[in-house]
Structure 1
Amino acid sequence: MTSAVLAMPEVLDPMYWLGEGGMFASALLPGVILIVFVETGLFFPFLPGDTLLFTAGLLAAQPGAPASVWTLGGCAAASAIAGGQLGYLIGRRAGPALFRRDDARFLKKRYLASSHGFFERHGRKTIVIGHFVGVVRTFTPVIAGASGMRYPVFLAFDVIGALGWGVGLTLVGYHLGTVPLVHAHLELIVLVIAVLSALPVLLSVTRAVLLRRRPVTVD
């Protein structure tokens, strides 16, 4: 395995796989759209939306990128808006029952509580600011719907936040990707981002496994 990698160092280059003609080139844009929608609309707060958009922007700055930065950013924003509408609808329909239910695998009471506290402190601004805060991004639309926020108000603020997050973060990655030093170390940077993105999932799984193995004490 090691000798094969040394003989073909290009396999470590993300553009080898994701660039024009790469095996997974056609999967980059659909992958961004799907992950952003699932994170913002389907209660999966541990998905790496921020790092995904930043990395997509980095890749868009490289020669042979499969999609432009504007296509990636625009589709990410549209997907975040669609996910937000679904979250709002769920909150509107389910309402306070969401806060009374037992913990599910992904819909944790503590996530709802922290997002609700954020919402109480910042009000309507939360719809915009929340897009830039991991767990809050996932649950703010639900809380907005459950709290009875008028839909036109939610939609307006959600569109602003989604555009700022989806397009803005992708552009940040893109402009950094044009820096020669970043371009020269793209493989290492993407590897570090991938590891950091996987850490929350690994920690969550490890915690769940340890809790299951913990012996039940009887008073």
Structure 2
Amino acid sequence: MDFLSVFLELFRNSDQFIAHMAAQYGAYVYLFLFTVYFLETGVAICALLPGDSLIFVTGAAAAAGILNPVAAFFAIALGACVGNTVAYGLGYWLGNKIYDGSIKWIDQDSMAKTKAFFAKHGNLTILLARFVPIVRSFAPLVAGAAKMNRLRFEASGTLGAVLWAGIIVTAGYLFGNIPFIKNNLSLILVGGIVLGLAPFVIGFIVKKWRQHPDR
């Protein structure tokens, strides 16, 4: 199974994919979960990797006996924490370069939205950003570039990752095997991604509409 097939399978049949990974590779499925959530947070260009919905699917798989819920929780939370630390360090190193558009792989619209999120929520930003798709991938970069206190950043980021992973894994564990939900887990994954992207798409459309010459 090549990388593209693996990636597409996450979106099409995420529940079967997790079951296949556990059956074929055993404990390596936890390394896979760690990697997904490390990349989603630590590498900005991976911001569209499955997030909340895949955690829910993982919780449901744990309830079905396919995964160990505690191990899954730790793999996801640890991946998010390490990703936070790496992205903060990168932002700290790059400094103001992440804002001026000279680094092409950093999406400036997402950066602008993340900066606005910081301005609105202040000290709670890093914790709250963990629950907002896309923003959580760029918040550590902004925090690093702004030279946010490292200890405060790590404390907020760790608490956010633990709450985020714990709440969603638990929700999947409790509700993921309800027949309607169980039979539509892949749709839940795609729906979660769509809902996460919706505010950014709507914001982009509104921005273009306001810039239209007729306006």
> TM-score, normalization: structure 2?
0.76
Contact 1:103 1:109 in 2 (8 A): no
Partners in 2 of 1:119 and 1:33 — Cα distance? 26
Q: 1:83 to 1:51 in 2, by over 3 A?
A: same
User: Which runs of at least 4 in structure 1 moved beyond 2 Å after TM superposition?
Assistant: 12-17, 19-28, 101-105, 193-200
Taking the TM superposition and a 5 Å limit, the aligned residue runs for 1:194-209 are 194-196=189-191
- Matched with 1:100 is 100
- Matched with 2:201 is none
Indicate the SS of the match to 2:126.
Answer: helix
- Matched with 2:184 is 189
- Matched with 2:69 is 69
Amino acid at match of 1:87: A
Amino acid at match of 2:187: V
Q: 2:138 aligned with 1:139, yes or no?
A: yes
- Matched with 1:23 is 24
Contact 2:56 2:168 in 1 (8 A): yes
- Matched with 2:159 is 160
- Matched with 2:6 is none
Q: 2:26 aligned with 1:35, yes or no?
A: no
- Matched with 1:54 is 56
Partners in 2 of 1:42 and 1:13 — Cα distance? 22
Note the residue ranges of structure 1 that are not aligned, 5 or more in a row: 1-11, 204-219
CA shift for structure 1 position 58: 0.9
- Matched with 1:9 is none
Amino acid at match of 2:55: L
Q: 1:20 to 1:83 in 2, by over 3 A?
A: closer
Q: 1:20 to 1:115 in 2, by over 3 A?
A: closer
Q: 1:145 to 1:104 in 2, by over 3 A?
A: same
Note the residue ranges of structure 2 that are not aligned, 5 or more in a row: 1-12, 199-215
Matched residue pairs, number? 185
Indicate the SS of the match to 1:48.
Answer: coil
Q: CA RMSD in A?
A: 2.9
CA shift for structure 1 position 69: 1.1
Amino acid at match of 1:31: F
CA shift for structure 1 position 23: 3.3
Indicate the SS of the match to 2:130.
Answer: helix
- Matched with 1:4 is none
Contact 2:56 2:173 in 1 (8 A): yes
User: Which has the higher Rg, Structure 1 or Structure 2?
Assistant: 1
Q: 1:139 to 1:14 in 2, by over 3 A?
A: closer
